[in-house]
Structure 1
Amino acid sequence: MEIRVGQVVVHYVEHGTGRPVLVLHGAGVDHREAEACFEPVFDGVAGLRRIYPDLPGMGWTIAPETLRSADDVLDTLLNFTDEVIGGAHLLIGHSAGAYYAQAMAARRPAQVAGLALVCPLLPGLRDVPEHRVVAGSGEIGDDVFRSYFVIQTPEMLERYERYVAPAAALVDQAALGRIGERWALTPDHAPAYAGPTVVVAGRQDSTVGYAAAADLVDEYPHASLAVVDDAGHALPHEQPELLRTLLAEWLARVERSS
């Protein structure tokens, strides 16, 4: 499906009916990775409408020249949410998607019924570990696979080749470079989001680390925090059952709070 939001035509897919859940993927991929990782989380959970957009410059969402910063992308996502959802929803983000999700919840806390941040990209990253393979020979796949996954088994390689690698050909590198020059969002001095929150980080995440994510537990008054061993930035692929359990607990808290 597609919808025009200002000057951006946003491509997205959705599944199910009921309470909306907006799921934002990270940089350099598209909705297919988020869909593959999070749809199993919602298997058997009734009453959720899951929405997976392609972020500008990735997948089938073209980033026009007018998009020149992360603030422009954030405005596009907020307007997309207004058009497609129009009210209260759950919000999940992985990596750069979590960076935008955090800002969206800060801007419109009354519309966000729950916030889930998985391997979040954050300003002030610190103590990022060196990449280390924790399972597998470290000799299969291409360089991108070997730098992304810490569990390098044939099963993980199959997931990478099916859900991650195909997005590379669709990435508008010029657009991402243009936006990346102004990747820091304008600080929002609103009170911290107070709804049900979960933060999940990979202990071996050599892209964003886990230290800055762990700091968020003091920022959000109703946040659960999990730092998962034997997981890197590809945690949603590498630890799917644990992620499902953590998000199930989060969904239960959302239900209780509403």
Structure 2
Amino acid sequence: MHFVERGSGTPVLAVHGWTPDHRLMLGCLEPLFERLPGYRRLYPDLPAMGNSPAPPEIASSDDLLAELDRFVGERIGDEPFLLIGESYGGYLARALARIHRDRVRGLALICPIGTKVEQAERTVPPHETLRTEPDLEADPDFLANADPEFLEMAVVRTPETWRRHRDEVQPGLDAADAEAMARIRRRWVLSCDPEDGPPFERPALILTGRQDSTVGYADQFALLPHYPRATYAVLDVAGHNLQLEQSALFEALVAEWLERAGEP
């Protein structure tokens, strides 16, 4: 898999969601990690997304998980590591934490898929746009120029959230291999539930958006019994792009999780 690596120290594997690529995770995490030395950040592109190809034999979420596990073996080896997953990447990260329960020192989930994998089965609120703050002097036409997908998903519509969506999310959406993703999508549910087995007892973080109309926040609450050391947060004025719309809270909560995960 194609990946970008930054820094040195404790390995941190950051897994993006369905359709975007590593730039989503790079954009939301690097501003924080640049202030916190001692972490080696690995940002892969999942197969069929970004610059990672998906040959025909990759045809399910199980196959993506296997590729991610192979990446861990090749790039991290036997070291303990931290694991961060966003949306569908959070689903895979939970499964990877089950496989490497004794090595994952902490698990952070950003707007993850909850207990219901398929969209039609999820408990989600209706979409709302709660904040629109056009800076007329800086960019009077940003709403007119913004991508329709951004406008349909955004809870906070501002020049800054649009800029970050354009730079961090949209490139991955444009690069995705639609044919390969459709093939994988037909076998999207993992054959083994990520929460099968004993609880994950290391520090965890589950971040959800109160207005997230893609994965919601209620199905994630049901995960808590499996993660007894989890902080669970529902952020108001935040949708599925929570990291863009509540960036200060996002960084504060991730920083606190890193501190907990570093404890013996």
Unaligned stretches of 5+ residues in structure 2: 135-142
What is the alpha-carbon root mean square deviation over aligned residues?
1.4
Q: Which one of the candidate residues 47, 54, 61 is aligned to 1:63? A: 54
Once the two structures are superposed, residues 88-146 of structure 1 have per-residue CA deviations (whole angstroms, 9 ceiling, x without a partner) of 10000110110100000011101101000110013425320111101117954222111
Q: Which one of the candidate residues 5, 12, 34 is aligned to 1:21? A: 12
1:35 is aligned to 2:26: yes
Instruction: Identify the residue that residue 94 of structure 1 maps to in structure 2.
Output: 86
Counterparts of 1:121-160 in structure 2 under 5 Å? Answer: 121-124=113-116, 126-136=122-132, 139-140=143-144, 141-160=146-165
Q: Which one of the candidate residues 41, 50, 62 is aligned to 1:50? A: 41
- C-alpha separation in 2, matches of 1:232 and 1:185: 25
- C-alpha separation in 2, matches of 1:165 and 1:91: 24
| Displacement after TM superposition at 1:77 (Å) | 0.2
- C-alpha separation in 2, matches of 1:80 and 1:66: 17
- C-alpha separation in 2, matches of 1:28 and 1:246: 25
Question: Identity of counterpart residues, as a percentage?
Answer: 44
- C-alpha separation in 1, matches of 2:99 and 2:214: 26
Moved over 4 A (4+): 137-140
| SS of residue in 2 equivalent to 1:39 | helix
Instruction: Identify the residue that residue 139 of structure 2 maps to in structure 1.
Output: none
Instruction: Identify the residue that residue 253 of structure 1 maps to in structure 2.
Output: 260
- C-alpha separation in 2, matches of 1:137 and 1:238: 12
Once the two structures are superposed, residues 194-222 of structure 1 have per-residue CA deviations (whole angstroms, 9 ceiling, x without a partner) of 11101000000000000011222222111
Instruction: Identify the residue that residue 202 of structure 1 maps to in structure 2.
Output: 209
1:108 is aligned to 2:100: yes
Q: Which one of the candidate residues 217, 236, 243 is aligned to 1:229? A: 236
Q: Which one of the candidate residues 163, 168, 172 is aligned to 1:163? A: 168
Q: Is the 8 A contact 2:8 2:40 kept in 1?
A: yes
- C-alpha separation in 1, matches of 2:112 and 2:222: 12
Instruction: Identify the residue that residue 69 of structure 2 maps to in structure 1.
Output: 78
Once the two structures are superposed, residues 134-165 of structure 1 have per-residue CA deviations (whole angstroms, 9 ceiling, x without a partner) of 11179542221112221011111111111211
| Displacement after TM superposition at 1:75 (Å) | 0.5
Amino acid of the residue matched to residue 240 of structure 2?
H
Larger displacement relative to structure 2 (91-100 or 41-50): 41-50
Q: Is the 8 A contact 2:58 2:184 kept in 1?
A: yes
Amino acid of the residue matched to residue 12 of structure 1?
F
Amino acid of the residue matched to residue 88 of structure 2?
A
| Displacement after TM superposition at 1:236 (Å) | 0.8
- C-alpha separation in 2, matches of 1:183 and 1:63: 15
Q: Is the 8 A contact 1:21 1:48 kept in 2?
A: yes
Number of aligned residue pairs: give it: 248
Please, what TM-score do these two structures have when normalized by structure 2?
0.90
